[in-house]
Amino acid sequence: MKNIISWSLFSGLRSRYAMGLCWLLFAAGAAVAGPLPPAHDWDRHLDRDHAPQPALVARLEGVQSHADCALADWAALPVDELISTVRAASSACLNSLFSASGDVAVALFNENTMLAVAQAFTQDANQYDGSAAAGAKALVLFLRAGFYVQFYGDELPDYSPQLSQKISTGMTVLLRHSGFFVLTERNAEYVSEVVTLVDSAGINLQHLPQLTALFASLNVSNADGYWAPLAVNNVLTVFFRAHYADAADAWFADHLMVIEDLAAMASREDLTSTGSEYVVANAAAETARFYQYGDAFKAAIDAPLKGLLQRYDFQGVGASIWLAAADMIDYYLPGQCQEFGLCGFVDDIDAAILSIRHQCPSTFSVRAQSLTPQQRDSVCDDLLALQQRFHRLFGQADSPVADDYNDQLEVVIFASSDQYQLYGGVLFDISTNNGGIYLEGDPSDRNNQARFIAYVAEWQSEFEVWNLMHEAVHYLDGRFNMQGDFQDTLSADTVWWTEGIAEYVSKLDDNADAIDTGDSNAWPLSTLFANSYNDTSARIYDGGYLAARYMFTQQSEQLDYLLMHSRSGDYSGYQASLQQLGDSLDVDYSSWLQCLVAGGDCDPDGPDGGNGDVLLQESAISADQAVWRFVWVPAGYERIQVTTSGGTGDVDVFVKYDGWPSQQDYDAASMSAGNEERLILAAQGGEYLHLLLSPKAAASNVRLTVSASPAAIQ
């Protein structure tokens, strides 16, 4: 599946794709995006496809929990009182509208209420003086939230054309006012919301001819602001969506002037090296998008685009503009690279930008833009240490899930977040509005290359590759705990686990922020189990961390049962087991969380025991060569756990039901460093389980335990 993203949203993203929510991205079969860094200059790069405004991560997290209003109370108000309440609402209240659901959503956003608010919007337009009041912007946000909830939710039917027509009437009034095109920072905030409303209401073509006049409103005096560039960039989103309208090509053919205006915006040299260069780059991409119609608009866009490619290059001043145009042309005109001087440009960029290649002394390799030898080696050391930690925790070393051939992870490291946004999309066909992204691909393909694309956190005082540990855990978890590709895992509720375990293994107990977040939000464990990539990053990452840590340290019996399903690719069985758990652990989880909040020793013994009925136990095994054991598995058990511990040396464990195992032929194996081996497999009642203890180094005083457990979840 292609990424569902657009250059029209923010700089650094592939322009060829449609827009969508970006916690979850798909490329080459599977992708997991990492958490964003602390908000600094990320604001203008965030996805704003009908999303709450302003699109600042730091201001959106926890909106549902901390909004100073109750939407249920709003839903009970008469419409006139509702409009007055909306006008006076805080940003937190307004942003929380986008998460309305159920009966509240129906009461707030039914068509009659939306029509009344649209009428109030038109009244505001008649009184507009070029410096819109906060209340006017609030009504626009309400309308946008209504369209958002109607589109993404199931509660509301489609709105009738009457609603869009009423909003269009208000837009027509606004666009007649010269003050609308004066992009002071205050007015530009209102304009940016109104332009997005045009797209939400699906009235793009009706108003594009007037909206392109905003291009001239962006100049060196406001180019480094926030709202003025964003307002103009939102016009490009209106362009992008307009292609989906019926007979869009015929409409554009009758309105060539808007294409010429767009091409002129893409040619604005005065905005290069300013805070508005991303707008020019997006304009270049949107201009090149007209190649999707073949030669229909070639005469209008060829010269401007070829001029851009000659004026700039993929490095230096205007690089983002060159890349935006080149990437889009390459997509829509495959095989015509010679005409534009673009043959092999992706390979040229790769060779110039990612010139460092290094194989770590492990299953990791590094491909980087700018690392010192010391930094490169520290990355390798950190990855190796993490890999060893993971296998100590799970005991699955050298025993990947079936049909997983991702035996190497390539770690791509850009020099900074800006460089990641500039080149990541072109080189790897990804979205870059994230903290890095893991591309698992198809692990069953022997030619597949698993890859984590990252960047150096330039805002940190010490060298750090952002999310390096988190994303490396995704690789290890996918290889040893989750059979199939990422899309297979999404057939069940696995987000709490995949993101939570990545946070837990990378941070262990050192995550005070997650504990604080969990305490303030008080999500029940059963709620966290249902996490999806549509939830806030606080719930996905911090909540996921808490859920994974709790299950790992307090409920290992239950967790092993879930992992037994996921390791075999039985996601329907996994989901059934998770649903059977329901809310049965919520009270215990809450007590455990409060223990963490209070600073108590809440995981004193590490993972909970829960070994079930012991079938075989020996406490002093010594081996300088293979040791064989077998044990009868009675009927009535669901799973078998085999563990070794203690002693000296290094022993590996291989097990098989149908005959004796070997290092090449086994049903399950654990090959961690040292003697701490642990493996789980389904019980086959009425069969013998055969065991091989194979020493890598002569072992002595090793403890072996084979235990059987009934169904952990009924």
* CA geometry: angle 327, 35, 46, nearest 5 deg: 50
Give CA separation, 354 vs 159, 367, 412, 415, 455, in Å.
49, 6, 8, 10, 12
Give CA separation, 225 vs 44, 136, 183, 191, in Å.
10, 22, 10, 14
Instruction: For residue 481, give both structure tokens.
Output: 């705990």
Nearest alpha-carbon partner for 671 in 397, 385, 388, 390: 397
CA distance 217 to 228: 8
272-282: b (≥16 Cβ within 10 Å) or e: bebbbbbbbbb
What torsion do the CA atoms of 577, 580, 584, 588 make, to the nearest 10 degrees? Answer: 0
Q: Characterise 33 by phi-psi region: left (phi > 0), alpha (psi -120 to 50), beta (else).
A: beta
CA distance 413 to 466: 9
CA distance 534 to 117: 27
HSE-up (13 A, CA, CB side) for residue 85: 19
471 is catalytic: yes
Beta strands 437-439 and 677-682, pairing class: unpaired
Instruction: For residue 698, give both structure tokens.
Output: 């002569």
**Where do runs of H (alpha helix) occur along 153-217?**
161-175, 185-200, 204-211
Tell me which of 193, 277, 440, 471 is the catalytic residue: 471
DSSP secondary structure code for residue 415 in this structure: S
Report the amino acid identity of residue 357: R
- Could you give the residue numbers annotated as active site? 471
